[in-house]
Amino acid sequence: MLKYLLRRVLELVLTLVLSSFVVFMLTEFSPGNVARKTLGPFALQEQVDVLYEKLHLNDPLLVRYVRWVGVLTGLEADPLQDPALDLDFHDPRGNRYFGNFGYSTLYKAPVNDVLWNRLGNTALLAGLAFAVIVPLSLVLGILAGMRAGSALDRLVSTASVVMTSVPEFALGVMLVAVFVVSLHWLPGTSTLDPSGGWPVAAQLVLPVATLAIYDAGYVARMVRSSMAEVMTRPYIRTAVLKGLPRRQVILRHAFRNAMIAPFTVMLLQINWLIGGVVVTELVFAYPGFGRMLLDAALFGDISLIEAATLIALLVATTTQLLSDIGYRFLDPQSRR
């Protein structure tokens, strides 16, 4: 088991290194662009040329990547903070420390001052959505899968296809049209600032619902098919014939074995939630990580895009690792 863990952690690190290179390649492929975007659209061409020289942007991509990793890990000083450049980039943490993501040109602040607060807000949103998705999809999936082909099964299955066919942006707009515009029950924007008259809890209802409904349909389908499969196994028939009450057969015998496959799917939903968060936060003006990533991408804030994508990748790969390890714990067969 330890050997397996070690191998998986090494694989995770390798994937992270390779994907961070992909991110770097996507954002900094054209060096002229890097200097121009750092200085903004109003900088003179001479200033751009000077920065191009100072940052050695004509070096090969791989050399620039290694240098960027050096800054990130604190082995090298951030070249943009050099006072000689006169960029007015100040970071109270200094110019050389571990986790130095650089300076955000969009927010005019060190990336580390912007990132974590936003990430916390998004963790709240995603956490609440996850807390809705898991019980909802479990109940729906078990009810449907318990008696495959029943009327309830068909109802739940149809409902879950419909749920997965409504993308977050369409769902968000529909929910706003009903609950905000027509019924006036809830606020249409979720700025997490209670001074607008709506308590924060009310502001969270619609964003959480938007995230949860789309994903819950998908997970419910997984739970349903796993449950339906387990219900056909001989040991369930034995348990029923033995005269055990139905509730006990479902909860003690079927449920545990039916949960192995959906467990993996549920953890992988965190990867989906990161994407959903970008859209949902835009719909509801939520001050989170996803909208920050989108703003950074649209503005061309290179350091912030790189930092945000790296964090998203770290979350995605870690949950994948956790789901693989959990799967091995739950399913004795996969340990062989």
Partner 1 sequence: MSDVQTRPLIAPAPSLPAMPAIEPAPAERRAPSLLRRLPTSRVAMVGLALVLFWIAVASLAPVLPVPSPTAHDYAAIGHPGPGARHWLGVDPLGRDTLARVVWGARTVLAVAPAAVLAAYVVGCAMGLLAGYYRGWVDVVVSRVSDVILSFPVVVLYVILIANIGPSAMNIVVAAVLSSAPAIARIVRGLVMSLMHQDFVAAAELRRESDLYIMLVELLPNCRGPLITDFCLRLGYVTIAIGTLGFLGLGLPPPTPDWGGMVKQGTAMLTVYPGMSLYPAFALVSLVLGFNLLADGLTELSMSD
Which residues of the shown chain bind partner 1 in the complex (CB under 8 A)?
A: 11, 14-15, 18-19, 22-23, 26-27, 29, 157, 161-162, 164-170, 173-174, 176-177, 180-181, 188, 271-272, 274-276, 278-279, 282-283, 293-294, 297-298, 300, 305, 309, 312-313, 316-317, 320
CA distance 188 to 186: 7
**Spatial distance between the Cα atoms of 268 and 266, rounded to a whole number of angstroms:** 5
Q: How far is the CB of 284 from partner 1 (least distance, A)?
A: 11
**Which of 50, 297 has the CB closer to partner 1?**
297
As measured in angstroms, the least distance from the Cβ of 48 to partner 1 is: 18
Residues recorded for the chain: 336
User: CB–CB of 271/319 below 8 Å?
Assistant: yes
Query: Closest CB to partner 1 among 4 and 29?
Result: 29
By beta-carbon proximity to partner 1, the closer residue of 26 and 155 is: 26
- For residue 103, give the 3-state DSSP assignment: strand
Cβ closer to partner 1: 171 or 208?
A: 171
Q: 94 vs 275, which CB is nearer to partner 1?
A: 275
Q: How far is the CB of 46 from partner 1 (least distance, A)?
A: 26
- Pairing status of strand 103-104 against strand 109-110: antiparallel
With respect to partner 1, which residue has the nearer C-beta, 63 or 162? 162
Residue among 200, 215, 199 nearest 273 (CA): 215
Strand partners, 70: none
Q: How far is the CB of 124 from partner 1 (least distance, A)?
A: 18
Burial degree of 1 (CB within 10 A; 0-12, 13-18, 19+): exposed
Beta bridge partners of 110: 103
First to last CA, the chain: 11
81 vs 264, which CB is nearer to partner 1?
Answer: 264
The greatest distance separating any two alpha carbons of the chain, rounded to the nearest whole angstrom, comes to 86
What DSSP letter does each residue of 243-268 carry, written as one string?
T--HHHIIIIIIHHHHTHHHHHHHHH
Report, in Å, the least distance between residue 276 CB and partner 1.
Answer: 7
Give the nearest distance from C-beta 273 to partner 1 in angstroms. Answer: 8
- State the minimum distance, in angstroms, from the CB of residue 79 to partner 1: 22
